[in-house]
Structure 1
Amino acid sequence: MSETMQATSNEPSPVWQKSVVPKGQSGLRALNERRILTLIRQHQQLPKAQIAKQTGLSAQAATVIINRLEHDGLLQRGEPHRGKRGQPSVPFSLRANGAFGLGIKIGRRSMQISLIDFLGNVRASLCEHWDFPAIEAMQRFTQKGLRAILSALDEEEVGRVSGVGVAMPFEIWRWSEQAGAPEDELARWKEFDVLAAVQKFTKLPVYLCNDDTAACAAELWFGQHRELSDYLYCFVGTFIGGGMVLNRKLHVGRSGNAGAVGSLPVLAGSGNAQLLDSASLHRLEKNLKQMDVDTAFLHARHSIWPDNLPAVARWLEEAAEGIVQAAISAHAFLDLDAVVIEGAVPDAVKQVLLHKCEQLLADADCRGLSPLRLLPGSVGADARALGCANLPLLAQYSL
């Protein structure tokens, strides 16, 4: 995560806003404990000697901390690895049931509440669809969903839930016309305190984050592109958005909105246009509705798109053109390893989009730039939900 996230709990995080922590609910681990947990999370498992070496702690200090984390149920030891000489090496890894995180993803077409364990496995998830984000519906579903998920846990598991992460679009009240939502209803979100509203339904700490930043964080922590140091992350949802990873850390900028690719201007005829106007699912939905095609499949939890849909081929062409423009611009400024493309679309559609982007990039005039890779996201369509459930785990157990 970003350097400022390595500060103490009293310093604000640029990644999320945080509610006032109820008395006795801080749960923040000591700095060296979080250093070790973060290191193990990155490498999946490590022996004590490697942990001491990579953290700069003495062998004795590392042993004391690791034993404490194991006693607290956050770490577990694996089978000893016997080398050619010396004592067997015992690897330590995170214990799945050591901690849990709750996440509430507030989207433009749906809302989702998820519970993940310490390894990022989804243990429970509930979803509700809507035509547009409505405050009263959000409050009802939050209260009902949190109660339902927590009631399925035993007493010990409830005690290991670290908090509630909330992820939602930046300035959700804007672009009412593109979203097909009543302007007056969306405008209510501008003054609505989401943190305070969610806090009414739980005694756990609550964290608020941009939804595409949360998706990017999920790719960083749980994805398969661990070899990448610097990349732009694009998420094709109702509105396209994104995030930035620099030096293997989530880079969010001064206001937490870095990587907002949807707001980038794109070359499209003679008018002014943003990337979200061409590379977002709302554009495809609008075109399909004009052809009297039922678009409910676009917002299904695990969507399967019908074959031979009209307008899809053209939308994919326009989306790819805009994404490649954004990719080249970001690469020119930041000299990236790659651009990772994810979305709330079936894998087959994502692969077609990626292939079209690769073709356009190959034909683009990139003189003066180093080669740039385009890669598929590895977390999947639920990246935003996974990312927001991970917020309390990051806040309390990571740097």
Structure 2
Amino acid sequence: MRFAPPPTVRVAEHPGGMNQVLARSFNERLIMSLLLQHDGMTRLQLGQESGLSAQTISVIVRALERDDLVSKGEAVRGRIGPPTTPISLNPNGAFSIGLHVDRHAIEATIVNFVGSPVTQRRSTLTTFDIENVRDALIDMVDGLLGELTAAQKPLVAGIGLTFPQRFEAEEEQAVLAYDFEQDLRAHAGLEVVIQDDVTAAASAETLYGQAKRMDDLLFCFASKDLVPRLILGGRIYTGSNPQISICDNQAWNLTAKNLESVATWDDLRVQRWIEHVVSKTTDLVQDLATFASVPAMILSAPAPMAVIDELVLHIRSEISTDLSVTGSRFGPNALAIGAAIMPIQTRFTANTL
């Protein structure tokens, strides 16, 4: 089992489409890529951004409407000329399954075509070996598919599967080497896309999250480690040292449990973890500034939104640069959502792996 290379995270500023018949599929993906970046676009706007002719745009939009992948909004009147009608992705036009595997649990979700979670599940792993992980993944897929209607099941674009980039123990590394994609593909009859968890989350952030239409940014995921991904010119870079230790496994397990408590703000472990995340992130930003300049940073963590917002406030007060710091809105299940968005990106966008 090998991770796919990081995908391009956004379409070029002025992408160019082709009008040849054989390019029809690419042009459809190009239009859907533009609609992913915007909340609604008219045919005129789609033509201006894609470089495609008005006739080609009309043909593609009609085809996407027939497949229920896009829908029309209300016509905008009151301007010079005929009313304009915005076109948007149909949230129920496609669905995707995301599975995030960690040492102790599997986080899973189904997202719709606009990246919103439809259902979420979590399964604890009693032992971390190939057989147990495989069985748990298959059970999770069956459970998720069971929550969809008969009409929704054929609209599932695929399964996204993510793991941490590395595990510490040798027997845990064996799990990474196993071909779970083949087992899931044979069982569910769906295409399976695999990626390391933080890269998938960073890519999802640029497609549906806070980094829409951004070319350059720093994405960081904080848990036991601070794991950064640098995005430059629409490409994701991991670097030679892809993670920075925040605490050991035992401390993180206790902290993660306390993060789920309603008394989070009174917990000394959580407060200590917040301090360490802020310190490590501030150091990282300062180190990055010596060789690269990016306008924004997005921080994600398996924590309640209130904790992420608290982290962002502290980081903003500590850094001395003009870097814009924002918290991810995907919440505690960001890694599972990142996994689920991969099949949508692979199947429906013009981005290439």
TM-score by length of 2: 0.85
Q: Residue 331 of structure 2 aligns to a residue in which SS?
A: coil
- Runs of 4 or more, structure 1, over 6 Å off, are none
- Report Cα offsets for 1:77-108 as digits up to 9, x if no partner: 11111143221111110011111111111123
Deviation at 1:47, TM superposition (A): 0.8
1:361 alignment counterpart: 319
2:85 alignment counterpart: 90
Matched, 1:103 2:98: yes
2:15 alignment counterpart: none
Deviation at 1:149, TM superposition (A): 1.9
2:252 alignment counterpart: 285
**Which amino acid in structure 2 is aligned with residue 242 of structure 1?**
P
1:202 alignment counterpart: 188
| C-alpha RMSD of the superposition | 2.6
Deviation at 1:331, TM superposition (A): 3.0
Equivalent positions of 1:179-258 (< 5 A) are 183-226=169-212, 228-247=214-233, 249=234, 251-253=235-237, 258=238
CA–CA separation in structure 1 for the residues paired with 2:143 and 2:285: 42
| 1:108–1:55 CA distance, 2 compared to 1 (3 A) | same
| 1:352–1:155 CA distance, 2 compared to 1 (3 A) | closer
- Report Cα offsets for 1:35-80 as digits up to 9, x if no partner: 0001011111111111111100110111111111111110111111
1:390 alignment counterpart: 341
1:130 alignment counterpart: 125
CA–CA separation in structure 1 for the residues paired with 2:349 and 2:213: 20
**Which amino acid in structure 2 is aligned with residue 222 of structure 1?**
Y
Work out whether residues 109 and 117 of structure 2, in 8 Å CA contact, stay in contact via their aligned partners in 1: yes
| 1:261–1:108 CA distance, 2 compared to 1 (3 A) | farther
**Which amino acid in structure 2 is aligned with residue 216 of structure 1?**
A
Deviation at 1:296, TM superposition (A): 6.7
Work out whether residues 165 and 207 of structure 1, in 8 Å CA contact, stay in contact via their aligned partners in 2: yes
Matched, 1:313 2:271: yes
| 1:164–1:79 CA distance, 2 compared to 1 (3 A) | same
- Report Cα offsets for 1:225-273 as digits up to 9, x if no partner: 44644211111124332323334x3x234xxxx268753xxxxxxxxxx
Deviation at 1:321, TM superposition (A): 1.6
CA–CA separation in structure 2 for the residues paired with 1:261 and 1:305: 35
Deviation at 1:187, TM superposition (A): 3.8
Equivalent positions of 1:128-167 (< 5 A) are 128-130=123-125, 133-167=128-162
CA–CA separation in structure 2 for the residues paired with 1:94 and 1:386: 18
Matched, 1:41 2:36: yes
The structure 2 residue matched to 1:338, chosen from 261, 283, 296, is: 296
- Report Cα offsets for 1:318-363 as digits up to 9, x if no partner: 322211111122233220102211111223332333333233323x
1:375 alignment counterpart: 326
Work out whether residues 216 and 242 of structure 1, in 8 Å CA contact, stay in contact via their aligned partners in 2: no
1:19 alignment counterpart: none
Q: Residue 151 of structure 2 aligns to a residue in which SS?
A: helix
Deviation at 1:379, TM superposition (A): 2.1
| 1:297–1:116 CA distance, 2 compared to 1 (3 A) | same
Deviation at 1:130, TM superposition (A): 3.5
- Between 1:307-316 and 1:50-59, the stretch displaced more is 307-316
Matched, 1:322 2:245: no
| 1:61–1:169 CA distance, 2 compared to 1 (3 A) | same
Unaligned ranges ≥5, structure 1: 1-11, 17-27, 176-182, 264-274, 289-294, 363-369
CA–CA separation in structure 2 for the residues paired with 1:344 and 1:260: 24
Equivalent positions of 1:58-73 (< 5 A) are 58-73=53-68
CA–CA separation in structure 1 for the residues paired with 2:83 and 2:296: 39
| 1:89–1:224 CA distance, 2 compared to 1 (3 A) | same
**Which amino acid in structure 1 is aligned with residue 329 of structure 2?**
S
Work out whether residues 46 and 91 of structure 1, in 8 Å CA contact, stay in contact via their aligned partners in 2: yes
Deviation at 1:305, TM superposition (A): 4.8
